């Protein structure tokens, strides 16, 4: 094995340890709460957020309302766990539960 190479089984363990559940956020283009939620998620190490723009796709707004019962944005899911909106995300973080949720292999 060459210098600086990580054994294959070690690479697998590292990727499993750092894997985060998918993060999905229903949002609009101009939404300060969406920006605030995204900033917090990025600060907590989230590198990919699936943004679903409800302002350009009315079917996605209907989907969001059916899934959450709400019509305001953002609406955030981490894995299968429904977080809620921006205030809910910040509350999870304040309670110390956001980090645990993001580190769960399949929330």
pLDDT digits 0-9 by tens, 40-80: 999 999 999 999 999 999 999 999 999 999 999 999 999 99
Burial tier of 54 (Cβ tally within 10 Å: 0-12, 13-18, 19+):
buried
Calculate what percentage of the chain has a pLDDT beyond 70: 81
Residue 2 has pLDDT above 60, yes or no: no
Residue 81 has pLDDT above 80, yes or no: yes
Residue 38 has pLDDT above 90, yes or no: yes
Residues in the chain: 107
* Distance from chain centroid for Cα 81: 10
Domains of the chain, first to last: 21-103 (3.40.30.10)
Q: What is the pLDDT of residue 87?
A: 98
**Which among 69, 75, 93 is positioned nearest to 28, based on CA atoms?**
75
Q: DSSP letter string over 36-51?
A: HHHHHHHHTT---EEE
Residue 106 has pLDDT above 70, yes or no: no
Sign of the dihedral defined by the CA atoms of residues 95, 91, 100, 39, in that order: negative
Q: What is the pLDDT of residue 15?
A: 41
């Amino acid at each position: 094995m060459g210098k600086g190479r990580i054994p294959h089984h070690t690479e697998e363990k590292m990727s499993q340890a750092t894997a985060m559940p998918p993060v999905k956020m229903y949002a609009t283009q101009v939404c300060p709460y969406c920006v605030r939620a995204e900033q917090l998620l990025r600060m907590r190490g989230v590198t990919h957020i699936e943004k679903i723009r409800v302002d350009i796709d009315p079917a996605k707004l209907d989907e969001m309302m059916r899934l959450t019962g709400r019509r305001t944005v953002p609406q955030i899911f981490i894995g299968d766990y429904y977080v809620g909106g921006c205030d809910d995300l910040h509350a999870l973080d304040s309670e110390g539960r956001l980090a645990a949720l993001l580190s769960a292999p399949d929330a």
